[in-house]
């Protein structure tokens, strides 16, 4: 059985080829980030839904995939800085899912089916604000609409 090409470089190539051939490419099933990487040393991380090229450009999709490593680094930093957040994340999260969401200028996190879902469109973001947002989610605090 051949294994499909699911690493970020391969996905970028597929998106570029689809762009030039006029066909759309979309990730329909969650795929492992960086070949099954973990966040906070033990929590599996995966890429969830990615927007179709009718909604997002190939450059935007590539920016989302690049942002995942920064989001992972911020989650790792939160786990190292805050033992309570680290424990809650390890106790509650089956996995962490990174999903591309139209209009999500800053990353947002929430719980869905025992998974911590992080929605983001891609590009740069405020790491400190993201860590604070995730900490509130982990502690079960209400998140204001504009937070």
Give me the tens of pLDDT residue by residue for the chain, a chain 147 residues long.
Answer: 344 445 555 455 555 545 544 444 444 334 444 444 667 878 999 999 999 888 899 999 999 999 999 999 999 999 999 999 999 999 999 999 999 998 888 999 999 999 999 999 999 999 999 999 999 999 888 887 665
- Specify if 1 maps to a domain: no
Confidence at residue 103, expressed as pLDDT on a 0 to 100 scale: 83
> What's the domain count of the chain?
1
- Specify if 143 maps to a domain: no
What Rg value do the Cα atoms of the chain yield, rounded? 15
- CB-based contact 67:125 (threshold 8 Å): yes
Q: Other C-beta atoms within 10 Å of 42: how many?
A: 11
- Specify if 145 maps to a domain: no
- Specify if 147 maps to a domain: no
- Specify if 3 maps to a domain: no
- Specify if 126 maps to a domain: yes
- Specify if 144 maps to a domain: no
What is the domain range of residue 89? 8-138
Q: For residue 82, what are its two tokens?
A: 């805050």
- Specify if 86 maps to a domain: yes
The span from the CA of 107 to the CA of 54, in Å, is: 22
Structural element, H or E, at residue 54: none
Helix (H, G, I), strand (E, B) or coil at 106: coil
């Amino acid at each position: 059985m051949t294994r499909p090409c699911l690493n970020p470089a391969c996905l970028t190539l597929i998106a570029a080829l689809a762009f030039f051939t006029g066909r759309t490419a979309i990730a329909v099933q969650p795929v492992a980030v960086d070949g099954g990487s973990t966040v906070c040393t033990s929590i599996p991380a995966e890429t969830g839904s990615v927007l179709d090229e009718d909604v997002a450009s190939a450059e935007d999709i590539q920016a989302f995939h690049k942002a995942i490593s920064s989001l992972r680094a911020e989650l790792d930093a939160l786990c190292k800085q805050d033992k309570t957040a680290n424990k809650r994340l390890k106790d509650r999260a089956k996995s962490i899912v990174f999903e591309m969401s139209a209009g999500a200028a800053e990353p947002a996190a929430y719980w869905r089916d025992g998974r911590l879902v992080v929605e983001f469109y891609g590009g740069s973001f405020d790491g400190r604000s993201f860590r604070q947002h995730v900490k509130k989610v982990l502690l079960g605090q209400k998140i204001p609409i504009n937070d």
